[in-house]
């Protein structure tokens, strides 16, 4: 499985959505442990989401 598939799952997790059926939570966690590029990507995705939440009009 490629990083791009895991990143789709990471972004779903960040958004609080269900993971794509082809990626289990355990597989995603295992990939994050072994892939620093996806760890960094996930960190950025969370930061962007936090920023976006702060900018959202009330």
Interface with Zn ion: number of residues (CB under 5 A): 3
Contact status: 35 vs Zn ion (CB under 5 A) = yes
CB of 25 to Zn ion, least distance (A): 15
Cβ atoms 9, 28 nearer than 8 A? yes
Contact between 38 and Zn ion per CB under 5 A: yes
| Residue (of 39, 42, 31) closest to 2 by Cα position | 31
**Which of 33/51 has CB closer to Zn ion?**
33
With both helix axes pointing from N to C terminus, report the angle between 36-55 and 25-34 in degrees, rounded to the nearest 10: 110
Binding site for Zn ion (CB under 5 A): 3, 35, 38
């Amino acid at each position: 499985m490629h990083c791009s598939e895991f990143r789709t799952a990471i972004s779903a997790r960040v958004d609080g959505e269900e993971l794509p059926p082809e990626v289990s939570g355990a597989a995603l966690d295992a990939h994050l442990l072994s892939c620093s590029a996806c760890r960094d990507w996930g960190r950025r995705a969370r930061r962007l989401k936090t920023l976006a939440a702060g900018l959202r009009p009330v």
